[in-house]
Every structure is written in C-alpha cells, then in structure tokens.
Structure 1
Amino acid sequence: MMSVSAMPEKDATSGAFVHTKLMPILTHYGIFLFLVLAILVSGLITPAFVSRDNISNMLMQLAPLGIVVIGQAFVILVRGLDLSVASVMATSAVVATSFSGQNGDAAWVVLAAISVGIATGLINGLLVTKRNVSPFLATLATMIVLQGLRFAWTQGAPSGNVPPFFRSIGTGAFYGVPYNVVIMFIVAIVLAIVLHRSAFGRRMYITGGNPVTAKLVGISSDRITIAAYVICGALAAGAGLILSGFVGVVDNFVGRGFELDSIVAAVMGGVALSGGRGTVAGALAGAAILVVISNAVVMFGLPVQLQTIIKGVVIVVAASLYVNRSH
C-alpha cells in the first residue's frame, strides 16, 4: 500500500521537475537544441553531411541569409516586416557589376550598394511611420519599384562580372573559415551589442512591445522604426554583394526567396511578430536550421517536391517546440 500511495507523489515530483527545470531550458535554448539535433540526425543518416567540405558549403550559404535575417529581426522587433530585402539584394548585386573588373573599385561598390539599401530602408520607414502604410504594402511596393528600376537599367539582362574582391569574399576562407562567415559573425556581434546593451536597443524593445508605453516615456517610436528599416536595408544590400560573390554571377533575381526565408527564420528563432521580443542569436539559429534542412534533403537525394514538404514540417515542429513555449 505504501508503494502505491507513493506513486502520485513521485509523478507530481517529476511533473514539477519538467515544469521548473526542463521548460525554462526549452524556452530559452530550444531552437539551439533543435539545430544540434537536426545536424546529428542528418550526420547519422548521411555521414557525408558532416564532412568538412559540406560544412564549409553550408556556412557559405548561411552567411548572406544570416545577415538578412538579422536585419529582418530588427524590423520585426518594432512590429514590422520587410518584403523588399530580396529586391535590395538583387539591386546591390546589379550595382556591383557596374564596377566589374578592378579590385580598386571595391570601396565604390560597397558605398553604392549600401546607399541603395539605406535609401530603400529610409523610404520603407517613412511610408510606415509618416504615411501609416502597412509594412506589408509599403515594402511590397518598394520591392516592385526596385525590380522595375533594375529591369529598366539592365534591359532584363545584367552584364559585367562581380569584382574579384567580392568573389574572394564570397568563396575564400581564412584557415578553413569562410570570409563571409567571419563577416556575418562580426555583424551579428556588433548588432547584438547594439540591441542588448545600448539605449537604442532598449528603446526598440519598448517600441515593439508596447508603443503606448514608448510614447509615455518620451521615446520617438517613428525614429526607432525608421532606423530599424534602414539597418535592414543596409544589411540586405551587403548580403547581396556577399551572395553575388558566392555564386559568381549576377542576375535580376539574386536573393530570390530571402524575403520569406528571412521572416520564417527570424520568427522560428523566437522573434515575435507582435514585436518587442527576440534575440540576434535566436534569429541566426533559425537561419541555420533552414540551411541545414535544405542541405540535408539534397544530400538525401529527395525529390524537390518532398524537400519543400519536409522543410515546412520541420519549420512547424521547430516553431512548436520553441516559439509557443516562449509566450
């Protein structure tokens, strides 16, 4: 009888352990645990997945997406989203071809490309804050305008080569670590410090979490929102240069799909669409999961249609394990 009566107490104890010990771990680190699990499972199924060459390839794929995801996370934190990032990437890549052939042009390429991103972000921010246009419509409009300008400039067929400097940045490595990954981590560290250790970052969280409170404490929500869009645009332009250097060629659709992948990765990494919650590290983990999934299904030799289904299922599972628990 004593053993029977002890069972409920044991169950209650185990339940308390799960609630007090396990749940906080899943809440804060679930996305990272899911990433590690995805890598381990993929490596067990296909050992070539964890080969040095494939890991290096995945890191090179992660760099441009990761940079865009960081910018997207900033915008989502202030209750926005940016559908123009892919178009900004393509436009910056087209700009790069205008300076093809000489490494000495690299500084001008960077300046011109980043200027395009900053200008686009500024327009997006002004439309959202000063004209009260919804983020969806504002950024969709700038995406379409940039696409039209790009096609008019190139006559539908970009010509020229990516400057050698950007080709080396996109494909080169330093002691086995790709240059573009180093750039991504530098960007991530700097912006993580800005977001989590500065007054600007705190204002972003307040603006996104509770706009009414932000106004009551004297925060200029419009300026914070515009700044978030400008940061996103600048990062998208830089990512476009990195991606064009990686693929080695430029067309009018460089970065296609990044607008949706960046939103999915950020949200899956714990950046709340309702604003005011999220981290740079979590957003990067979400981007890494997308890259791992895409690479794994290719390594498994699965059909394209099945790849898309698996990618969607894994996104839902990852979101349910992490995002929902963070509410």
Structure 2
Amino acid sequence: MVDLVQSKPAAATEPKRSLTSRFSHLALPVFLILLIVISGLVSPAFLSGSNISNMLLQVAPLGIVVIGQAYVIILRGLDLSVSSVMATSAVIATSFSGQNGDVLPILLVAVGIGVATGIVNGLLVTKRSVSPFLATLATMIVLQGFRFAYTQGAPSGNVPPLFRAIGSATWNGIPYNILVLIVLAVVFGLLLARSRFGREVYITGGNPTTARLLGINADRVTIIGYVISGAMAAIAGLVLSGYVGIVDNWVGRGFELDSIVAAVMGGISLSGGRGGIVGGLLGAAVLVVVFNAVLLFGLPVQLQIIIKGVVIVVAAAFYVRRSR
C-alpha cells in the first residue's frame, strides 16, 4: 500500500516533466523574438530594413565560426584559436594581387591553414593529452607570431572584389554572406544530425570510454572536429575581410569567446555530447541583436559592455542549467 501511494506523485508529475522538456527548446527563439520586439519599441530604427540587413551581415561570420565551435564543444573541447585563424585568413586575402582570379588560391591557402591548425589542435588534445584550452591558446599565439612576422605588423593590399561582394553586398536586402552561412549550416548540420560520423561525435563527446568500447576511433573523431572548426574559422575570416574592407592583424578579435558563448546559449553542453547547429546559430543571433541594439541606442561605451555582459551571463546560465 505504501509503495502504491508513493508511486502516484511520480506518475502525476511525469506529464509535467515531459511537457516542460518538450517546450524548453523554444525558450531561446522566444527570448530572441522578445529581444527584437523590445528593441524595436525602444528604437523604431532598429526594425528598419537597412538595420536588419546590417545585422544579417554581422551574424554570418559569427555563425560560420559557431558551426565549427559546435563540433568541438560537443566533443568536450573548445577552440580559442578561431580568432587567430580568421585574422590570418584575412591577411592572406590581401596578400595576392587583389583580383578575382586569385580567389581560388586565397581560399585554398586560407582553408589549408585552418585545417592545419585544426590538425595540430586535435593532435595536441588527443595524442599529447593537452587540455583544449592550453592547446588552442598555444596555436592562437603561434599564429599571431607568424602573422606579425609576415606582415611586419602592418598588413597591406586589397581584398578581391568577389570577397567584398560576398562579405558586404546584398540582393534585395538579403546579404550574400548569409547565404554562405545557410549553405554551410545545412551541410554541417546534416552531417552532425544524420550521418554516422555525427553519431560518433555525440557518442565520443558523451563518453569517450564508451566510444572506444563501441569500436569508435575517438581520437580520429576529435581531430576531425578540430579540423572542421579550423576550416570554418578560415572561411569566416575571408567573409569578414570582405565585410570590413580594411584588414589588420586583429580581424576577428573576440570571436573565440563570442562563438563559445553563442554555442552555450544555444544549448550545446560544455560537458559534451549534447546540442546542435541550429541552437548555436540562434545564440549567435541573440548576441548580434544585443550588440546592435546597445550601439543603436547610443549608450555610453561602458554601459554597452555592462549590458552585453549581463545578457550573456543570464542567457548562458539559463541554458547551462537546462542542459544539466
């Protein structure tokens, strides 16, 4: 009798738990919509076509980086070298003649550097048991050193017109770079969600020991994850170089932290094994909306930083709690 009575509350609360779990993934989209609506009420210019187009231009480079960062975080890691890969790619974009005929060589060299950086990161993490933080921090610093030595501290040259068009031009108000983001998100989102490799990523991130017992080469999967992150950072750097137009050695600064925060806000667990591309992109959109809103409102720089930090901490804390 006692067991029967005690079992009723658990059974009664089960529908509530499943209902909460079912709708919890809608919290971030609802938060993003509320943020947009409130910003539009405070400043009608926020919802103007030109400002929306500008936000889309800004979200594309960050979103591309988040795609790669998502793989690494699901694999229980993180990648601090993405900002340095972006800056190196941007410098490479101006190192040729500046004509469209150089687009393919630039793309190959930039992505090659991103892939090489990812391989080094992956080998350090898997074969040398270096923590992801230290491994990617080291490659970030090494890339910075090479970049400064190559440019003598002052990069010069022109970005090819095609990159400028992809990074900053629009078609009927729709930026070309957002189309690049959509294509990459679909390809790597399907790879993560529908392929055998994607299942191996989740299993390895959830429990590397279990992955090895199931016959999965966890080291190989982890290295590929870092390679994807490096390649995405390289492409994002080229896109960002076309957006800013002027390249320096610090293009992409801050993207390493913004991409991690966006991924965590999007429900990608820092403990590994959970999350997806769509959530990370929603997190990137939240960050861009916040950054754009505080600038549009004309708030003091100090207050802008405080507001950004508060929104990031609240959103990240909520999603870390939900993932637990």
Q: TM-score, normalised by structure 1?
A: 0.93
Deviation at 1:212, TM superposition (A): 1.3
Residue 130 of structure 2 corresponds to 133
Deviation at 1:262, TM superposition (A): 0.6
The alignment covers a number of residue pairs equal to 314
Query: Following the alignment from structure 2 to structure 1, what is the Cα–Cα distance between the partners of residues 306 and 288?
Result: 15
Q: 94-103 or 213-222, which moves further after superposition?
A: 94-103
Deviation at 1:313, TM superposition (A): 1.3
Match of 2:150 among 147, 150, 153: 153
Q: Deviations over 1:277-303 (max 9, x none)?
A: 001000000111000000000111111
Deviation at 1:85, TM superposition (A): 0.3
Task: Indicate the SS of the match to 1:323.
Answer: helix
2:269–2:323 CA contact under 8 A, matched in 1: no
**Structure 1 residue 319 and structure 2 residue 316: aligned?**
yes
Residue 275 of structure 1 corresponds to 272
Residue 288 of structure 1 corresponds to 285
Identity %: 67
1:71–1:233 CA contact under 8 A, matched in 2: yes
Deviation at 1:37, TM superposition (A): 1.0
Query: Following the alignment from structure 1 to structure 2, what is the Cα–Cα distance between the partners of residues 40 and 169?
Result: 29
Deviation at 1:324, TM superposition (A): 1.4
Deviation at 1:21, TM superposition (A): 7.0
Query: Following the alignment from structure 2 to structure 1, what is the Cα–Cα distance between the partners of residues 161 and 153?
Result: 24
- Structure 2 residues not aligned, in runs of 5+: 1-8
Residue 52 of structure 1 corresponds to 49
Query: Following the alignment from structure 1 to structure 2, what is the Cα–Cα distance between the partners of residues 156 and 75?
Result: 31
Query: Following the alignment from structure 1 to structure 2, what is the Cα–Cα distance between the partners of residues 41 and 314?
Result: 14
2:264–2:319 CA contact under 8 A, matched in 1: no
Match of 1:181 among 175, 178, 185: 178
Query: Following the alignment from structure 2 to structure 1, what is the Cα–Cα distance between the partners of residues 206 and 290?
Result: 31
Residue 4 of structure 2 corresponds to none
Query: Following the alignment from structure 1 to structure 2, what is the Cα–Cα distance between the partners of residues 21 and 130?
Result: 41
Match of 2:255 among 217, 236, 258: 258
Deviation at 1:101, TM superposition (A): 2.2
* Residue identity opposite 2:143 in structure 1: L
2:115–2:231 CA contact under 8 A, matched in 1: yes
Query: Following the alignment from structure 1 to structure 2, what is the Cα–Cα distance between the partners of residues 46 and 321?
Result: 27
Deviation at 1:188, TM superposition (A): 0.4
2:124–2:135 CA contact under 8 A, matched in 1: yes
1:26–1:325 CA contact under 8 A, matched in 2: no
Query: Following the alignment from structure 2 to structure 1, what is the Cα–Cα distance between the partners of residues 282 and 122?
Result: 27
Match of 2:306 among 305, 309, 312: 309
Deviation at 1:26, TM superposition (A): 4.5
Residue 67 of structure 1 corresponds to 64
- Structure 1 residues not aligned, in runs of 5+: 1-11
Residue 20 of structure 2 corresponds to 23
Query: Following the alignment from structure 1 to structure 2, what is the Cα–Cα distance between the partners of residues 234 and 192?
Result: 15
